Structure 1
Amino acid sequence: MQLVMVHGSGQNELTYHYQTARFENADAVNLPGHPDGEPRDSIRGYVDWVRDYAQGKGYPPFVLFGHSMGGAIALDYALRFPEDLAGLVLIGTGGRLRVHPDYLNRCLDEAQWRAEAPAYYEAINAQLAPQLASRALQSGPMVEHNDLAACDRFDVMERLKEIGLPSLVIVGADDIMTPVRYAEYLGRELQDAEVVVVSDSGHFVTLEQPEAVNDAIARFLKRLDDSNG
């Protein structure tokens, strides 16, 4: 089964480093502007790009993964083009993604943003910190600002009940950006959703607790295979 994995604001395919290492047919994409090309200024624009990419690869139907902003992209994709999808994996995300002004303002001070990146990623994953920081620096603070602004405008809270695709919702127990209550809301509102809360993890749960995340994904994919078999 084909898996398409979409990263969050200002990030890249390294968000799914441990998932692409474990799962066959996993394609972790780099959205436009991350760092190549021009970023889209809305979730809808990114959805259009992902759909063109997936169709160009001949993927549909596929399981669409989304972390943070990627989760917004996955939800909007499911609302607009459910026929393309076999399921959803929603990680550290929500049906609405209001962004605190501090996160937006942080991106406007480029010198400080660049100075803080190494320590920020060291706290998330020491092994991958140099690569994570280097890749984020390539995209730059204004791409992250663009993405966060798109997230801030995103709201499909009232439409989640329309999504009938099998869905796995994963969240770090200590996530302060998209807290557990966001995942629990998705679990209640989506027609067919399982929620997994991963202990000792924050917003970048795929990098902080990869084994727990991968085990949850493996169980979900087996369920999809069994239901299709």
Structure 2
Amino acid sequence: MTATESFSLEVRSQSVGVATGGVVPNVSSAADAPVVMLIHGAGMNRTVWQLQTRWLAHHGFTPLAIDLPGHGLSDGEPLDSVADMALWLGEAITAVSERLDSEQVRLVGHSMGSLICTEAAAADHDRIARLVLLGTAAAMPVHPALLGAARRNELLAPELMTAWSHGNRAHVATNPTPGLWMLGGGLALLERADDGVIHADLSACATYEAGDAASRVKCPVTVIVGSEDKMTPPRAAVPLIADFDNIDVVHLAGAGHMMMNEDPAAVRTALAAALA
């Protein structure tokens, strides 16, 4: 595979959107750089990890930020439950393992993606070596106004999600990447979702019941929480954290739910430690 080629992936005979941080992996490169699969949250896609994937790709890892079905560049319809998404992720792990000849992967999940990764890790003790959860919680109830707006495919849904997903600094135009508007970028990303996608995802979050999933996870776990997270407040993660056997918690002061964009340097530092 040459540097001009892209990394393609299929699951259930459907194309999956994948971002690799600008470095196209192959069997040889993945043998020396652990495979890290990054899973986005509700209504989003692989691009939420763009400030992490390139760094990971040049610091000893093989990052694969993937689009869930019906999101970004992935074919198919959005799946209607976290359980179904976790089953799909298991098949994606199989496809990646076969493609890169990797026996284990590391999973990183944000928000809804954290629920998916937890369920996948609870069901697969052999192939998942590390689990990193950002903006997570034991349950993810959804405000009725947000769910209703998403059901009607109203712009209000992306607007509410964008406002609630960012901490105070983001609301006064602060951005660690000069020249970019954080809230505007977040809104534009959610507006790109096809009709029905945000509602399907939020409904999956609202009906999710964790049960004993966390207690069944055997690999080391790192939970990264933002002090200004309004979507999944730090207190909402406490019951989940208590159920993990091997757990490390990283607190990011001043960061909201979209901590990957709000404080990318701190997130990269936490990922480097957690994924090693």
TM-score category of the 2 structures, normalised to the smaller one? 0.7 to 0.9
Who is 2:132 aligned against? 89
Who is 2:208 aligned against? 154
Q: Confirm or deny: 8 A CA contact 2:118 2:213 kept in the other structure.
A: no
Deviates more, 1:94-103 or 1:63-72: 94-103
* Amino acid in the other structure paired with 2:275: L
Who is 1:48 aligned against? 87
Who is 2:224 aligned against? 170
Who is 2:251 aligned against? 197
1:38 equivalent to 2:81? Answer no
Who is 2:64 aligned against? 27
For 1:39, what is the secondary structure of its paired residue? Answer: coil
- Residue 132 of structure 1: CA displacement? 4.4
Deviations 1:188-229, CA, capped at 9 Å, x for gaps: 22000111110111111111111111111111223xxxxxxx
Who is 1:218 aligned against? 272
CA distance in structure 2 between the partners assigned to 1:56 and 1:15 by the alignment? 22
- Residue 138 of structure 1: CA displacement? 2.6
State the number of aligned residues: 222
Deviates more, 1:73-82 or 1:61-70: 73-82
Deviations 1:170-189, CA, capped at 9 Å, x for gaps: 01101111111133333322
For 1:107, what is the secondary structure of its paired residue? Answer: helix
Change (3 A) 1:139 1:112: closer
Give the TM-score, by structure 1 length.
Answer: 0.86
- Residue 17 of structure 1: CA displacement? 1.2
Q: Confirm or deny: 8 A CA contact 1:170 1:183 kept in the other structure.
A: no
Change (3 A) 1:96 1:130: closer
Who is 2:38 aligned against? 5
Q: Confirm or deny: 8 A CA contact 1:184 1:195 kept in the other structure.
A: no
Instruction: Identify, as 1 or 2, the structure richer in helix.
Output: 1
Change (3 A) 1:128 1:157: same
Deviates more, 1:64-73 or 1:42-51: 42-51
CA distance in structure 1 between the partners assigned to 2:119 and 2:161 by the alignment? 32
Q: Confirm or deny: 8 A CA contact 2:104 2:126 kept in the other structure.
A: yes
Q: Confirm or deny: 8 A CA contact 1:117 1:133 kept in the other structure.
A: no
* Amino acid in the other structure paired with 2:193: S
Who is 1:16 aligned against? 49
* Amino acid in the other structure paired with 2:273: R
For 1:38, what is the secondary structure of its paired residue? Answer: coil
1:182 equivalent to 2:219? Answer no
- Residue 115 of structure 1: CA displacement? 8.0
CA distance in structure 1 between the partners assigned to 2:215 and 2:90 by the alignment? 22
CA distance in structure 1 between the partners assigned to 2:106 and 2:126 by the alignment? 11
CA distance in structure 2 between the partners assigned to 1:7 and 1:95 by the alignment? 17
CA distance in structure 2 between the partners assigned to 1:162 and 1:44 by the alignment? 15
Deviates more, 1:182-191 or 1:106-115: 106-115
CA distance in structure 2 between the partners assigned to 1:153 and 1:116 by the alignment? 22
Change (3 A) 1:170 1:2: same
Deviates more, 1:119-128 or 1:107-116: 119-128
CA distance in structure 1 between the partners assigned to 2:213 and 2:162 by the alignment? 38
- Percent identical among aligned pairs is 30
What are the ranges of 5 or more consecutive residues in structure 1 without an aligned counterpart? 223-229
